[in-house]
Amino acid sequence: MKKLTIKVGRNDLCPCGSGEKFKKCCEGKGAPIAVDLAGLYWKKYRIRLKNQADIEGLKKAGELVVETHRRVEDIIRAGITTNDINAFVHDFTVKNGAVPAPLNYKGYPKSVCVSVNSVICHGIPGDQVLEDGDIVNVDITSILDGYYADANQTLFVGTPSDGAKKIVAVARESLVRGLEMVKPGNTIGDIGWAIQTYAEAEGCSVVKEFIGHGIGRDFHEEPQVPHFGKRGKGVPLVPGMVFTVEPMINLGGPKLYILDDQWTAVTADGSLSAQFEETIVVTEDGFESMTPLVTG
């Protein structure tokens, strides 16, 4: 097992979890510190580390989300509407004893986000008919027994253009490159760095306004997980952290607009945008995905 080093400032809370400052507590004691990592991460970062029971609950939620995606893959085709996808995801989720997390979340009106072509994210299902050549991001979040799992992927309808193939491949690989950085000893910044370095080298751009997030018994928890950044910066990754990585990658520039519905984010230059998302837990030597749509 890799040795984990956490930098503790003299004025930081002591890693032993006493609630005292490090300089007034374990610093001078010269003995190894018994680290209450869960206590430390809560106090220092407001991150809730997950225990084994939590992880099992999250995995069950994740299995349902993956199964829902597999069924969407089967029904998606030219001629259906984005509302048809919403109806399917809603009914399948409820039938399986779960709750679609998007519905009424901060006023969001539907049970799934469906983002077509130049829509970056948070597309609201409606009367739009899918056409041959479209790329469609379907973002599904389900709550099962109180645990949230969140995953998305971008699908082709019919025959994709060269641009469509390119942006979907780069977005998918961006998620893979980001997740490759997930192991104790690395930081949140390493994830964003790997994604940004790769996507920009491919001539694409990374959306900055929307980021990955901790997840558990709430939809969006700490930490924030940007898809850009610097190596070695940000929160050190430790086992039991559960968060999403969900890079939104544009074929053109990174600028976006939000439509009048207050949700739909579109590329400012009208270029295609694609996204892939998984919910993962940091393990002793890497990560495990709750929603292995792309990995695993």
Stretch that binds ligand MF3, among 41-49, 106-114, 175-183, 201-209 (CB under 6 A): 106-114
- Which stretch of DSSP H or E encloses residue 100? strand 99-100
Rounded to a whole number of angstroms, the minimum distance from the CB of residue 232 to Co ion is 24
277 lines the binding site for ligand MF3 (CB under 6 A): yes
Q: Binds 134, which of Co ion, ligand MF3, none (CB < 5 to 8 A, cut-off by type)? A: none
Q: Rounded to an integer, what is the distance from CA 239 to the centroid of its chain?
A: 17
Q: Binds 102, which of ligand MF3, Co ion, none (CB < 5 to 8 A, cut-off by type)? A: ligand MF3
Cα–Cα nearest to 219, from 113, 91, 124, 115: 113
Q: What are phi and psi of 100, to 5 degrees?
A: -75, 115
Question: Which residues ranging from 225 to 284 are in contact with Co ion (CB under 5 A)?
Answer: 244, 246, 277
Residues 6+ apart with CB under 8 A from 87: none
Q: Residue 223, preceding bond cis, omega within 30 degrees?
A: yes
275 CB-side CA count, 13 A: 36
Are the C-beta atoms of 45 and 235 separated by less than 8 Å? yes
55 in helix, strand or coil?
Answer: helix
Stretch that binds ligand MF3, among 23-31, 57-65, 87-95, 102-110 (CB under 6 A): 102-110
Residues 6+ apart with CB under 8 A from 228: 192, 193, 195, 196, 206, 208
Nearer to Co ion (CB atom), residue 271 or residue 291: 291
Identify the residue among 66, 76, 113, 225 touching ligand MF3 (CB under 6 A). Answer: 113
Nearer to Co ion (CB atom), residue 40 or residue 114: 114
278 lines the binding site for ligand MF3 (CB under 6 A): no
Numbers of helices and strands, H then E, in the chain? 5, 15
Identify the residue among 48, 59, 122, 227 touching ligand MF3 (CB under 6 A). Answer: 122
Identify the residue among 54, 134, 139, 278 touching Co ion (CB under 5 A). Answer: 139
Nearer to ligand MF3 (CB atom), residue 42 or residue 219: 219
List residues near Co ion by CB under 5 A.
Answer: 139, 150, 152, 244, 246, 277
| Residues of this chain that bind ligand MF3 (CB under 6 A) | 102, 105-106, 108, 113, 122, 139, 141, 150, 213, 244, 246, 277
